[in-house]
Amino acid sequence: MKDKKQIYMQRIQRELGNCLTETHLPLPGKKQGKVRDTYQLKDNMVLITTDRQSAFDRVLASVPFKGQALNLTSAWWFEQTSHIIKNHVTSVPDPNVTVARLCRPFPIEFVVRGYITGSTDTALWTRYAKGERTYCGISFPDGLVKHQKLHEPVITPTTKEAHDRPIAPDEIISEGWMTQEDWLYCSAKALELFAFGQQKALEHGLILVDTKYEMGTDSLGNIVLIDEIHTPDSSRYWIAESYEERMQSGKAPEHIDKEFLRVWFVEHCDPYHDEVLPEAPADLISELSYRYIMLYEHITGNDFQFPDAHLSASQRIEANLHNMLQE
């Protein structure tokens, strides 16, 4: 009998050329982000999570079933954390779709880190390895090693501009990005969400290493959690069981996110500056798809439901949205 991974990988490999990379819904106000397409629906927003894979401020590839796994993972976390802070979700009418209240986003991403790691220009380890000891207003001691757990989680916020810019809390206030009251509330909620996320992840054998949160205000002025939460796109996860042994032997932690794809591009090109990037190998894309699915199953305890192969994702999405509007 075939094992689960073999069965999943066979389905993934059949769909490598059949990803949801763009949408054309008969709805107004279309905006295309790196991963999500958004539309307007009365007083709500329709977010379509596609299979586009983003890193280094650009789209790197398309990954089968990524959008479904990402959207459903986020939906689960939104529900689990609603006691900490309200969120913008009103319904999930399709595996790739979230309908959410229109909100005014804060122009700051709340990046929370529990470990010193990473490979991008804004990663804490990248800056630390270059000799920086103060980052986003936080002082770090000498002698830290890559992948080490920090004494306590820290927030290293970034601005939401064309290129994310690390920024210290006092600069957020002085430059007018947020009021002090809103910053204090959002940063406290970010740390509370991260603590809860780490606890839940550990219960399922995972370490929530770092993540980002986005928040905004709804029509009544309430601060709510928006965008996504604790997905493998917005977060880094490691396998808890092997972390200590691998650190002691000088090996990188076992990860279950997109970091290995980032590393591949860093090793094969300059992903920030090269105009044309090499095509990621099919086996890497298949493995990444499998990891998205496995992370969804690990965290939620649910089996991943592969969609009907005889119906395109676009057709299914339009049908499910039509059904929702009829209700």
Per residue in 115-127, pLDDT tens? Answer: 999 877 889 999 9
Taking alpha carbons only, the member of 117, 90, 86 closest to residue 101 is 90
260-318 tens-digit pLDDT = 788 889 899 998 889 888 999 999 999 999 999 999 998 898 999 999 887 888 889 99
Give the model's pLDDT for residue 26: 87
Q: How far is CA 139 from CA 112, 168, 272, in A?
A: 15, 11, 27
- The torsion angles phi and psi of 255, rounded to 5 degrees, stand at -115, 160
Q: Judge whether residue 111 has pLDDT over 50.
A: yes
Give the model's pLDDT for residue 263: 82
Q: Which two tokens stand for residue 185?
A: 């509330």
Looking only at the bridges linking them, the beta strands covering 31-32 and 36-41 are antiparallel
70-83 tens-digit pLDDT = 999 999 999 999 99
Give the model's pLDDT for residue 327: 62
Q: Judge whether residue 325 has pLDDT over 80.
A: no
The CA distance from 280 to 276, in Å, is 12
Q: Which two tokens stand for residue 75?
A: 């939906």
What b/e readout covers 144-164, taking b as 16+ CB neighbours within 10 angstroms? bebbeeeeebbbbbbbeeeeb
| Amino acid letter, 68 | Q
- Mean residue pLDDT of the chain comes to 93
Give the model's pLDDT for residue 255: 85
CB 233 within 8 A of CB 259: no
Report residue 98's pLDDT band, with 50, 70 and 90 as the boundaries: very high
193-239 tens-digit pLDDT = 999 999 999 999 999 999 999 999 999 999 999 999 999 889 999 99
Q: Any idea of the CA torsion for 193, 195, 197, 203, to the nearest 10 degrees?
A: -150
Q: How far is CA 190 from CA 110, 125, 186, 195, 229, in A?
A: 7, 21, 6, 9, 11
Non-local (6+) Cβ contacts of 147 within 8 A are 115, 116, 117, 125, 247, 252, 253
Higher pLDDT, 164 or 239: 239
Q: Judge whether residue 86 has pLDDT over 50.
A: yes
> How many residues does the structure list for the chain?
327
CATH architecture of 4-326: 2-Layer Sandwich (3.30)
Non-local (6+) Cβ contacts of 165 within 8 A are 158, 159
13-66 tens-digit pLDDT = 999 988 999 999 989 999 999 899 999 988 899 999 999 998 887 888 899 999
Residue 105 CB coordination number (10 Å): 14
Q: Which two tokens stand for residue 45?
A: 């927003």
Non-local (6+) Cβ contacts of 132 within 8 A are none
HSE-CB at 116 with a 13 A cutoff on CA atoms is 23
Residue 121 CB coordination number (10 Å): 13
Give the model's pLDDT for residue 1: 44
Give the model's pLDDT for residue 2: 64
Higher pLDDT, 199 or 259: 199
CA diameter of the chain: 63
